[in-house]
Amino acid sequence: MPRGRTLPLSDRAPAVGTGILLLTAWEFGPPAFGISPLLIPRLSVVVGSLLDQLQRGLIFGNLLVTLVEALGGFTAGSIGGVVAAALISRSPLLERAVLPYLVALQSLPKVALAPLLVVWLGFGMGSKVAIAAIIAFFPVLINAIIGFAAVEREKLELMRSLVATEWQTFRFLRFPNALPFIFGGLNVAIVFSVTGALVGEFVGAREGLGTLLLQFNFNMDIGGMFAVLIVLGVLGAALHGVVRALHKRLIFWARPDDLELRAP
């Protein structure tokens, strides 16, 4: 039943073309324009550095740390967001009491909390999970609140006509109805959670891709930094891809692109 939307080759050709063009420019551009390899090392140098790091075992362990931090934060923040939204949308009193503060907090740049959380929770993974969770929480919360509210009147009347309990109405109607919206939030949250973990590592950590990036930075190893950036890019794209694939599979009745809200 899910509508497969694999693009035909001819539709992908332009994107592939752009990619090849950019990589070629990266390899031959800097020397041609006289840019110092210290600022922008050539593609081949970066790839060499990446292979070297892989060989020395620098990437895998640090990648795993950042991945666990991001996924832990994503999971905690998402569950928290859905639960909070469910409670808020079921209780008008709670909504009036709590929502204004959540909206106010939403406009605070959450990464600013990173130094504080490192002080509170230490240099280990806990503080990074906490930062990632806080950042992931808000887009899921806001989208889930919208989703729980977006139930057609007639569907609610149908449940009422069956004398459904509040919990049954939630389970059979409100929750599945909100899922496309929730996934809109999860799409944003997964990317945010990697950012959160990384910022946490910048503030203070012993392991992780963020730490590795800072080490290369201190040593002015620009090739190494680019190599870590590539790994981070792959990590972000892979996590986002997994969420989108889940979205497509689970929410087959609404198309992913319809409902994606951009969170700030």
CB of 177 to another protein, least distance (A): 8
> What CA–CA distances, in Å, run from 4 to 7, 173, 182, 252?
9, 26, 21, 10
Contact between 197 and 210 (Cβ < 8 Å): yes
CB of 163 to another protein, least distance (A): 5
- 1/104 with CB nearer another protein: 1
- Determine the Cα–Cα distance for residues 89 and 91; give it in Å rounded to an integer: 6
- Determine the Cα–Cα distance for residues 23 and 161; give it in Å rounded to an integer: 62
- 18/168 with CB nearer another protein: 168
Quote the crossing angle between the two packed helices 175-203 and 114-121, to the nearest 10°.
Answer: 80
- 39/163 with CB nearer another protein: 163
CB of 64 to another protein, least distance (A): 35
Task: For residue 108, give the DSSP letter.
Answer: S
CB of 42 to another protein, least distance (A): 51
- 38/162 with CB nearer another protein: 162
Amino acid, single-letter form, for residue 177:
N
- Contact residues for another protein (CB under 8 A)? 1, 152, 154-155, 157-164, 168, 172-173, 176, 179, 252-254
